[in-house]
Amino acid sequence: MAIVAVDDTDSRSGGMCTTWIGSEIADRLPDPTAYLVRLCPAVEHKTRGNGAVAVADDTVTADALASIARDLVTAHAVLEDPETNPGVVAVESSSAPTEVIDFGRSAVHREVTREEATTARAPLDARTHAWGNGRGLIGATAAVAAVLGRATGHPSRWLRSWSYETIAYREHPRWGTERTVSVEPAKPIIARRWPAVWDTIDPTAGVCACVPNSPCPVLFGIRGDDPDDIAAVVAAIDSEPIARHTTFHTNQGTDGHLRPATIAALTAGRSFRTAGTVGAEPRDHRGGRVTVPIVAEGVTVECVAFAPTGPFRHIVRGLRPGDRIIACGEVEDGSLKLEKLALTNRSLTVDATPRCPGCNRTMESAGRDQGFRCRSCGTTGRYRRRVPDRSIAIGWYEVPPGARRHLAAPLARVQTDLPAFAYRG
């Protein structure tokens, strides 16, 4: 099997995207399979969606694939933005060496280096081409690792449960102009095909989550678990003329970037799934963000829901001290940026400042974990009041489709013992 992968061809002006290069490569091959591999969303140097593309074909050589990719990158990406740093990696292989798979897994979870990518490619006899500082070779190597792992049935967890995305591309004269796309005719089909097709519409904002805002060549992208269901939605969408569409195998919607960890083990620049007890009331801040601290084994992390997450912030506001939650998201500046959370146990009582049962005066705290005391008569006791009406139920909650990261798994794709309050559409 011959594979070619490309990364870092997005221009700063937004007029080019890496998936378009992948689509162009696939269009020139007799029997292609296209892949879209999303990498760690927390790295410093990344393209908009931090995605690399790969194309595999059993009927051509790696040399031929490398030549096609090199010519396309030179003619389009480098011409569009001479300061971009594309990389091309082409291999012929039917096996997936452990070091290659481990590198690909790391690239989805954390920032990796060019030196690590070079070491990972060593067993593959790869053909490489690079422009600028060659940073694109990192993502291209990770995409090759993903394809080899998928093709050989490697058991690594990050390679399981992949999905599909069909991306429709605009005619070149329309690039950079306002898009003409209506999903209204497709809404009945979207409703019937959900959750096999997901994140097409953001019902909280009343917008199409499948249509980008940048001036790139993409017209729209439909994501799902079944190519036939995706094709039915694509066919029903009313839009301007489509130059071409390509279906990619992808790790989008898999939570491949998340790793389980205790709060004490959280590391900046990576994404985790962790658990803790809510330590204080949620707080609203200027700019629309909402924060809530969670604690485990004496270590605290502040969880944050930002303004673009919309109604998800109401869920965070509904948490109370003593609640047990699972929090998922990226760690940055000592905070965990929430992508989804699960309320696993609700606190039904909270500390209350009571009135003294003897003299009816307001009591005061007797010290941490020591209850309350009356300054007048000396009566002491621990008083709690019941919270009869909680605004949120036990279960999983997620940010809306318009605020979701490419790698984050929609609750429609998550199997859990708890109820999952998923967005439809």
CATH at residue 177: 3.90.600.20
Nearest to 223 by CA among 184, 278, 265, 166: 166
Domain coverage including residue 72: 2-159
Of 184, 217, 250, the domain-final residue: 250
Residue 323 domain-assigned (yes or no): yes
For residues 288 and 396, state if they share a domain: yes
- Same domain for 146 and 45: yes
Residue 369 maps to a domain: no
94 and 148 belong to one structural domain: yes
Residues 15 and 144 in one domain: yes
Q: Are residues 80 and 126 in the same domain?
A: yes
Q: Tell which of 208, 224, 250 closes a domain.
A: 250
Per-residue pLDDT at 83: 76
Residues 124 and 80 in one domain: yes
pLDDT of residue 114: 95
Tell me: do 89 and 121 sit in the same domain: yes
pLDDT at residue 214, rounded to an integer: 87
**Considering 112, 130, 159, which residue would you say is the last residue of a domain?**
159
Give the lowest-confidence range in 10-14, 101-105, 308-312, 404-408. Answer: 10-14
Q: What is the pLDDT of residue 16?
A: 83
Domain count along the chain: 3
CATH of the domain at 398: 2.40.50.1010
8/76 same-domain check: yes
Same domain, 155 and 297: no
In a domain, 34, yes or no: yes
Residues 167 and 155 in one domain: no
Q: Could you report the per-residue pLDDT of 329-371, keeping only the tens digit for each?
A: 999 999 999 999 999 999 886 655 677 777 877 878 777 767 7
Q: Are residues 155 and 169 in the same domain?
A: no
Classify residue 307: in a domain, yes or no.
yes
Asked if the structure places residue 203 within a domain, the reply is yes
pLDDT for 350 equals 62
User: Does residue 122 fall inside a structural domain?
Assistant: yes
The percentage of the chain sitting over the pLDDT mark of 70, rounded to a whole number, equals 94
- When computed from its CA atoms, the radius of gyration of the chain, rounded to whole angstroms, is 25
Residue 190: inside a domain: yes
CATH code for the domain of 136 = 3.30.70.2200
Residue 424 maps to a domain: no
Query: 7 with 149, same domain?
Result: yes
Q: What is the mean pLDDT of the segment spanning 60-77?
A: 94
> 33-38 and 242-250 as β-strands: parallel, antiparallel, unpaired?
parallel
